[in-house]
Amino acid sequence: MRMTDWRTEKVIDLQRAGILLVEDGNHGEYRPRPGEFVDQGVVFIRAADINDGQVLFESASKISEIARKRITKGIGSPGDVLLSHKGTVGKLAMVPEDAPPFVCSPQTTFWRTLNSDVLDRRYLYSFMRSPLFRAQLGTRASETDMAPYVSLTSQRALFVAIPPIGYQRAIAHILGTLDDKIELNRRMNETLEAMARAIFKSWFVDFDPVRAKMSGEPPESICNRLGLTPELLDLFPDRLHDSELGEVPEGWEVKGVDNIANYLNGLALQKYPPGDGDWLPVIKIAQLRAGHTAGADRASTELPGEYVVKNGDVLFSWSGSLLVKIWCGGRGALNQHLFKVTSDLYPKWFYYLWTKYHLLMFRAIASDKATTMGHIKRKNLSEAKALIPGSELLNGMTGIFQPLVEQSIQKKLESKMIEKVRDALIPKLISGELSVPGSGDA
């Protein structure tokens, strides 16, 4: 079925017909006031809280129930498609079924299907990710000289292509299956990283195996309780001794994290002009946060090899938004304000988890306006200490940690591959270029 056989409807007409509702958050006096933002409350979704198809409910701001009761617009619901329309225009995410109560800010709009027999919500999400919709949105975003902005009126003037419902559901099933696999991988990665952090805390912060041996707990009981093999448990010491950090396991060294890894600062890269020559995308803080290089600046490939970033590299943004991540977004050029963290002496999991462990402290230093300008300094790396067990125990630990890290990397790379397949399919399915078996209308 070709797209020329589909009907095309304006959003405002679909809204009048009770098929679609498009609404943004409250403006003016109904908006939450500064004093109404709280630690626990109703989630307030801004454009920054939509990232890579996900709604970041946990890190988003929260408003009090008093503010929520005053709000009359933009009250979200599971299944809504969220669109950022101010500042950063075009971020999209579908709200999951288990979403907490939330409201949209004036920067975000929800698109809600009201009649699923005419417009499937998952098809709507697919359509809004298509080049056809993005081209419409891009035209509207350039209507003002101010920051990119697509008003609610402009959004309601956009068009939606509506094939027969069987075709919609078939498209939604194909793309939804890929989205579900990406989401499954994301959740598995969260579990893997949580496991690694929990084991790291147990061994390097709480010293659980050491304390258990000191207390005289039977080895079999310790192994069952802490998930250790007898061989690995034997390698842990059975005493603590005093150090500059207080009591630490006997025989373990204390060093600054800059002594267990090399923190290479990136370059002040010049923009590489468009053309047919080879180039590398520039990895800045924004790319590290997003996990990809879409829309990144270009840099020449004529730079020292150590400044080339590859999948699996540990990156640490030491300025602005302080983040520590294992990069899986493809080759790129390391920009200033980012460290590439490497070591010839210690395994990746070791320097990655120690850097991650100190992240909260680094963020506190960077946010202290009396001593810094939103970044950390080299001396802070020396002040951040790491505990180093003996080589035999470290090798045994690597057998536990390294598979967790490697599996996490593989899951992320698998998701990147699936995303490429999905993004290549979207325009072909939405245009009708690809027929959809089993739709009943193809």
pLDDT at 269: 87
Q: Which two tokens stand for residue 203?
A: 């061994």
Where in 32-148 does DSSP place strands (E)? 37-38, 42-45, 50-51, 54-55, 61-63, 81-84, 92-94, 102-104, 108-113
In a domain, 247, yes or no: no
CA distance 189 to 182: 11
**Which 3 state secondary structure label does DSSP give 197?**
helix
Rounded-to-integer distance, Cα 26 and Cα 105, Å: 7
Q: Do 364 and 400 belong together in one domain?
A: no
Cα–Cα distance for residue pair 195/299, rounded to 1 Å: 37
Q: What percent of the chain has pLDDT over 70?
A: 94
Same structural domain for residues 8 and 124? yes
Other CB atoms within 10 A of residue 270 CB: 11
Check whether residue 11 and residue 106 sit in a common domain: yes
Indicate the DSSP class of residue 227: T
Q: Indicate whether 113 belongs to any domain.
A: yes
Report the alpha-carbon distance of residue 437 to residue 52 in Å, rounded: 29
Nearest alpha-carbon partner for 257 in 303, 197, 306, 324: 324
Alpha-carbon gap, residue 210 to 189, rounded angstroms: 29
Q: Which of 96, 86, 91, 80 is nearest to 49 (CA)?
A: 91
321, 175: one domain:
no
Are 339 and 431 part of one and the same domain? no
* Per-residue pLDDT, 442: 41
Q: What is the DSSP string of 327-353?
A: --S-SEEEBTTEEEEE-SSS-HHHHHH
Residues of the chain with pLDDT under 50: 441-442
Could you tell me which residues come within 8 angstroms of residue 428 by beta carbon, excluding any fewer than 6 positions away? 434
Does residue 253 belong to any structural domain of this protein? no
The number of domains in the chain is 3
Question: Comparing C-alpha atoms, which of 423, 432, 424 is closest to residue 7?
Answer: 432
CB atoms within 10 A of CB 26: 20
Q: Which domain-ending residue is among 113, 143, 162?
A: 162
Which of residues 135, 162, 189 is at a domain's end? 162
- Does residue 244 lie in a domain region? no
Same domain (yes/no): 170, 134: no
* 391-413 residue pLDDT tens: 999 999 999 999 999 999 999 99
The backbone region for 394, taken as left when phi is positive above 0, alpha when psi lies in -120 to 50, beta otherwise, is: alpha
Torsion 332-335-339-344 (CA) sign: positive
Spatial distance between the Cα atoms of 32 and 50, rounded to a whole number of angstroms: 19
Q: Which residues contact 402 (CB under 8 A, 6 or more apart)?
A: 347, 348, 349
> Do residues 418 and 186 touch, judged by C-beta distance below 8 A?
no
| Helix, strand, or coil (residue 184) | helix
- My answer on whether 295 and 405 are in the same domain is no
Verify that 319 and 270 share a domain, yes or no: yes
Instruction: For residue 433, tell me if it sits in a domain.
Output: yes
Do 192 and 72 share a domain, yes or no?
no
Residues sharing a CB contact under 8 Å with residue 109, sequence separation 6 or more, in sequence order: 22, 23, 24, 74, 82, 83, 85, 152, 155
* 271-302 confidence digits (pLDDT tens): 777 766 789 999 999 999 889 998 899 998 88
**Length reported for the chain:** 442
d(CA 8, CA 154): 17
pLDDT at 276: 64
Residues 117 and 12 in one domain: yes
In a domain, 410, yes or no: yes
Query: Quick one: which H or E segment has residue 283?
Result: strand 279-283
* Residue 165 pLDDT: 94
Q: Is 298 a domain residue?
A: yes
Per-residue pLDDT at 219: 96
The four Cα atoms 290, 295, 300, 306 give a dihedral, to 10 degrees, of: 0
Structure tokens at 118: 């005419």
Asked which of 106, 127, 162 is the last residue of a domain, the reply is 162
Residue indicated by tokens 């490429």: 420
In 66-204, at which residue ranges do the beta strands (DSSP E only) sit?
81-84, 92-94, 102-104, 108-113, 159-162
Token pair in block for residue 187: 């959740």
CA geometry: angle 145, 150, 152, nearest 5 deg:
135
304 and 336 together in one domain: yes
**CA-based nearest residue to 338, from 265, 388, 409, 268:** 265
205 and 331 share a domain? no
Would 395 be classed as within a structural domain?
A: yes
pLDDT tens digit sequence for 213-224: 999 999 999 999
CATH number, domain containing residue 108: 3.90.220.20
Q: Which domain holds residue 139?
A: 3-162
